[in-house]
């Protein structure tokens, strides 16, 4: 178990290094620099600015400088938010995104596992409704849902604020927009996993031994049915990150995603590379967490 | 058409949701192909005398802030969105299949090396990766097409690799090898045809993923540059006028939803029929 974690952690270092290098390469291959504006800067000033950020040095030196900073955990200065480093911007925006992501995650996992479980166990009309709702859920892009929610709850009934991130009421619509598609997806997956486990012989054996339904549920059914569900929580985190980008844009939430979009339009290279790296770290961490939880749920994985 | 093919089609037709999904998909394909012939106005015709009108007999879906007919723009957008998604899905499928097949078939160190490449792309979330690529490739149809392909092929490669790993242990592969067939021949004529079911199902699910990615990208203003219009671009224009002219976002949203629903229903039906063990792709989650 410990060796699994250590091995995966070691492996994540080259992955992140490649991600950093690729992003760095792409950013510097893009035509047009961060200081090309409609109003041309005087050549001397431009040269000064570029010298300040080492943009006048050969690419390989810029790359080494960047990696040097990276090894000290320094993501460099932001080109557009003057006087602030990328670390500052991330430290300020990541908590907001994390809060939104965590809310959406809880909503998605709670609703998805609950509904999927209910549908599989009860069957009949509940099951059919669940399948229909889940298919609708995965077919609605978050921005469509977000727009609809704002239209109904903010503009029509004036119940909830349409934008910004201040008190808890601001979190409801964004979390719903972000969480619905994952919820629908988890519901589908949970349903099929529970159905599969219910058909297994060890469940019948447990019933034949006269074990109470409660124990069967908690000891036999859930741990086995949740393995595939836990497995997709890794990719789900990736999905939530991607989604939060859009949802933050729609609701003007000052999170990492909104800054990423602005940085992309502004060519703020260090900020783009920095946020991309944070995304990659989060995904690698999520996948690792998934493997650990699965090893805990399923002893067979532990032995590998 | 053999009798078996005929039976497959009949089973698809008999299953309500799959049938309706298929019918709606056909309508979308027809609109993408022939739509501009039936478009009441040119998609970029500005009419200053009728700005921001709600739906009426003259403009069934109303007009935007430049007086352009929304219905005509949606027809044009359908052509762009459907073309981008279908072409992207196909190219991701071809690239992913080739990569996954080689990786799975040769196994060992080749497999290890190739799959590490997949790991890197898997460590990046879709939309930021697409944004990076479009910065690099430009915001035209071609740039978006390449970016979506780069993101899309990985899932396919993983799936096909798994299939090939399983298939290459079968006796018919051993038989072909003992008869002296080359690697290429074994892969192309013996192994890949057996993945056809998986491929078709994957293709039907790649298309809504591509629709989602493209429309999301255009919605946040990093997709197709105006005056070109895709469903996402139109939704974005509607978003900025949400409060007072909700028709501008409701119609594009509805079209995106109906299209995605149709592809998902059709894909679900095909999967149950052709590939019952497969679960849907967990990366389609925006």
Count the neighbouring beta carbons within 10 Å of the beta carbon of residue A116. 28
- At A234 the pLDDT is 76
DSSP bridge partners of B69: B63
Of A135, A141, A249, the CB nearest to B212: A141
Among A43-52, A79-88, A110-119, the least confident range: A43-52
- Residue A186 counted as domain residue: yes
Q: How far is B253 from chain A (nearest CA, A)?
A: 6
The answer to whether the Cβ–Cβ distance between B222 and A181 falls below 8 Å is no
Q: Is residue A86 over pLDDT 80?
A: yes
Rg, C-alpha atoms of chain B: 22
pLDDT digits (tens, 9 = 90+) for B61-90: 777 777 788 888 888 889 989 999 999 999
Of A135, A181, A283, the CB nearest to B285: A181
- Residue A284 counted as domain residue: no
pLDDT above 70 coverage of chain B, percent: 94
pLDDT digits (tens, 9 = 90+) for A92-110: 888 888 889 889 999 999 9
pLDDT digits (tens, 9 = 90+) for B232-259: 888 888 888 777 788 888 899 999 999 9
- Residue A14 counted as domain residue: no
- Residue A236 counted as domain residue: yes
Q: How far, in Å, CA of B234 to CA of A246, rounded? A: 16
> How many pairs of residues across A and B have Cβ atoms under 8 Å apart?
149
Question: At B29, is the pLDDT very low, low, confident or very high (cuts 50, 70, 90)?
Answer: very high
Q: How far, in Å, CA of A287 to CA of A232, rounded? A: 9
Count the neighbouring beta carbons within 10 Å of the beta carbon of residue B50. 15
**A152 and chain B: CB distance < 8 Å anywhere?**
no
**A279 and chain B: CB distance < 8 Å anywhere?**
yes
Q: Which residue has tokens 């570029």?
A: A50
- In chain B, positions 132-191, which contact chain A (CB-CB < 8 Å)? 132-133, 135-136
Q: Is residue A141 over pLDDT 50?
A: yes
- At A37 the pLDDT is 62
Please return the burial class of A121, using the count of CB atoms within 10 Å of its CB with bins 0-12, 13-18 and 19+: middle
- Residue A225 counted as domain residue: yes
The answer to whether the Cβ–Cβ distance between B132 and A242 falls below 8 Å is no
Q: Where are the beta strands (DSSP E) in chain A?
A: none
CATH number at residue A176: 1.10.3720.10
Q: What residues in B contact A181, CB-CB < 8 Å?
A: 285-286
Q: How far is A246 from chain B (nearest CA, A)?
A: 7
pLDDT digits (tens, 9 = 90+) for A165-209: 777 777 788 988 999 989 998 998 888 888 888 888 888 888 888
Full domain range(s) for residue A223: 96-254
DSSP 3-state assignment of B186? helix
Whether a cis peptide bond, with omega within 30° of 0, leads into B227 is yes
- At B276 the pLDDT is 54
- Residue A100 counted as domain residue: yes
* Selected residue with higher pLDDT from B213 and A69: B213
Of B17, B125, B260, the CB nearest to A139: B260
The count of structural domains within chain A is 1
Enter the pTM of the model: 0.85
User: What letter does residue B169 receive in the DSSP assignment?
Assistant: T
* Selected residue with higher pLDDT from B167 and A163: B167
Contact between B58 and B49 under an 8 Å Cβ cutoff? The reply is no
Average pLDDT over residues A151-155: 82
pLDDT digits (tens, 9 = 90+) for A13-66: 888 888 888 888 888 777 666 666 656 677 777 777 777 777 777 778 888 888
DSSP 3-state assignment of A77? strand
- Residue A198 counted as domain residue: yes
pLDDT digits (tens, 9 = 90+) for A240-251: 877 788 899 888
Count the neighbouring beta carbons within 10 Å of the beta carbon of residue A172. 16
pLDDT digits (tens, 9 = 90+) for B96-106: 999 999 999 99
- Residue A49 counted as domain residue: no
Question: At A212, is the pLDDT very low, low, confident or very high (cuts 50, 70, 90)?
Answer: confident
For residue A83, give both structure tokens.
């006087």
Q: How far, in Å, CA of A77 to CA of A87, rounded? A: 8
Q: How far is A45 from chain B (nearest CA, A)?
A: 26
User: What letter does residue B193 receive in the DSSP assignment?
Assistant: G
Q: What is the mean pLDDT of chain A?
A: 83
């Amino acid at each position: 178990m410990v060796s699994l974690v250590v091995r995966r952690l070691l492996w994540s270092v080259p992955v992140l290094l490649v991600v950093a290098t690729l992003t760095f390469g792409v950013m510097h291959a893009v035509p047009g620099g961060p200081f090309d504006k409609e109003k041309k800067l005087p050549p001397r000033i431009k040269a000064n600015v570029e010298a300040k950020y080492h943009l006048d040095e050969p690419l390989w030196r810029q790359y080494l400088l960047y990696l040097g900073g990276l090894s000290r955990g320094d993501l460099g200065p932001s080109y557009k938010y003057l006087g602030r480093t990328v670390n500052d911007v991330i430290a300020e925006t990541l908590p907001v995104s994390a809060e939104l992501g965590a809310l959406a995650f809880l909503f998605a996992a709670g609703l998805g596992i609950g509904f999927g479980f209910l549908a599989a166990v009860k069957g009949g009309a509940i099951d059919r409704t669940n399948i229909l709702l889940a298919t609708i859920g995965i077919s609605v892009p978050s921005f469509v849902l977000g727009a609809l929610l704002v239209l109904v709850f903010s503009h029509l009934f004036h119940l909830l604020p349409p934008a910004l991130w201040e008190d808890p009421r601001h979190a409801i619509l964004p979390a719903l927009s972000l969480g619905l598609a994952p919820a629908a997806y988890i519901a589908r997956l949970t349903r099929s996993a529970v159905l599969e486990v219910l058909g297994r012989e060890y469940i019948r054996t447990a019933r034949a031994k006269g074990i109470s339904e409660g124990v069967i549920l908690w000891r036999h059914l859930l741990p086995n049915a949740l393995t595939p569900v836990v497995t997709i929580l890794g990719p789900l985190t990736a999905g939530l990150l991607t989604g939060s980008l859009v949802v933050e844009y729609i609701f003007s939430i000052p999170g990492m995603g909104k800054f990423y979009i602005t940085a992309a339009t502004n060519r703020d290279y260090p900020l783009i590379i920095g946020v991309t790296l944070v995304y990659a770290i989060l995904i690698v961490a999520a996948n690792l967490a998934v493997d650990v939880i699965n090893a805990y749920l399923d002893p067979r994985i532990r032995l590998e | 058409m053999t009798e078996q093919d005929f039976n497959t089609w009949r089973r698809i037709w008999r299953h309500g949701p799959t049938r309706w999904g298929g019918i709606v998909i056909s309508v979308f394909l027809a609109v993408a192909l022939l739509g501009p012939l039936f478009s009441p106005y040119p998609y970029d015709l500005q009419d200053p005398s009728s700005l921001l009108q709600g739906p009426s007999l003259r403009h069934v879906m109303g007009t935007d802030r430049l007086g352009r007919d929304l219905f005509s723009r949606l027809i044009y957008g359908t052509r762009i969105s459907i073309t981008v998604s279908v072409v992207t899905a196909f190219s991701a499928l071809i690239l992913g299949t080739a990569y996954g097949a080689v990786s799975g078939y040769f196994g060992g160190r080749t497999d290890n090396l190739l799959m590490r490449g997949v790991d890197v792309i898997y460590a990046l979330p879709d939309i930021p990766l697409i944004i990076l690529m479009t910065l690099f490739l430009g915001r035209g149809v071609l740039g978006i097409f390449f970016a979506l392909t780069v993101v899309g092929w990985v899932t396919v490669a993983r799936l096909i690799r798994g299939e090939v790993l399983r298939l290459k242990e079968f006796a018919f592969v051993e038989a072909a090898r003992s008869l002296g067939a080359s690697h290429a021949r074994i892969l192309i004529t013996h192994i890949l045809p057996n993945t056809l079911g998986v491929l078709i199902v994957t293709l039907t699910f790649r298309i809504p993923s591509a629709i989602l990615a493209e429309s999301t990208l255009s919605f946040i203003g990093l997709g197709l540059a105006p005056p070109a219009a895709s469903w996402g671009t139109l939704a974005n224009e509607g978003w900025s006028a949400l409060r007072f002219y909700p028709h501008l976002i409701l119609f594009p949203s509805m079209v995106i939803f109906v299209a995605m629903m149709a592809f998902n229903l059709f894909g679900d039906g095909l999967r149950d029929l052709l590939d019952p063990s497969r679960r849907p792709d967990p990366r389609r989650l925006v």
